[in-house]
């Protein structure tokens, strides 16, 4: 089914993937998705790895195979362990995105979730990467415009 969907991929539009697996960092699911993508999609395809929670090895593998792969970090980053924080630090600045995944993933102790909390996610990412909030907001806004041709 996944391969059938990939046949619909269009170079003008990004392929958006939310990769989840049974293991902590979805390593097996990510490796399988990467292999299938490599067999069925051009390496120039723009890819958005939505709600990325993986490892630095995954960042490096996806970036090598698909130089136009973007990694989107959600509010889950507030609960990331050191393996995941290392991955966030390893995402190239020009491939980093932030998101809230509204209405599904709560940001810290908020009772509700809306896109209005994207600044809090960006602040968490800024702390992990030891960058300013302003840098993260500027960079991720530029990246989003580039990824989606806005």
Q: How many domains does the chain have?
A: 1
CA distance 74 to 51: 6
Let me know if residue 21 belongs to a domain: yes
Distance of CA 105 to the CA centre of its chain: 14
pLDDT value at residue 90: 98
Instruction: Look at residue 24 in the predicted model and tell me its pLDDT.
Output: 81
Is 5 domain-assigned? no
> Is the pLDDT at 53 greater than 70, yes or no?
yes
Using CA of residue 15, residue 21, residue 27, residue 28, what is the dihedral sign? negative
CA-nearest of 98, 47, 104 to 77 is 98
- Farthest CA pair distance, the chain: 42
Q: Domain containing 71: what range?
A: 12-147
Residue 54 predicted with pLDDT over 80: yes
Tens-digit pLDDT profile for residues 102-135? 656 655 555 667 778 888 999 999 999 999 999 9
């Amino acid at each position: 089914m996944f391969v059938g969907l990939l046949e619909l991929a269009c170079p003008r539009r990004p392929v958006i993937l939310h990769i989840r697996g049974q293991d902590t960092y979805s390593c097996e699911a990510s490796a399988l998705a990467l292999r299938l993508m490599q067999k069925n999609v051009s390496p120039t395809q723009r890819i958005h790895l939505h709600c990325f929670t993986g490892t630095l090895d995954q960042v490096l593998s996806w970036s090598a195979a698909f130089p136009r792969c973007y990694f989107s970090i959600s509010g889950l980053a507030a609960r990331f362990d050191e393996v995941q924080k290392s991955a966030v630090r390893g995402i190239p600045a020009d491939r980093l995105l932030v998101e809230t995944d509204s209405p599904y993933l709560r940001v810290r102790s908020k009772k509700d979730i809306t896109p209005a909390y994207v600044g809090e996610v960006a602040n968490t990412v800024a702390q992990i990467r030891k960058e300013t909030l302003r840098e993260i907001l500027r960079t991720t806004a530029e990246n989003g415009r580039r990824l989606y041709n806005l």
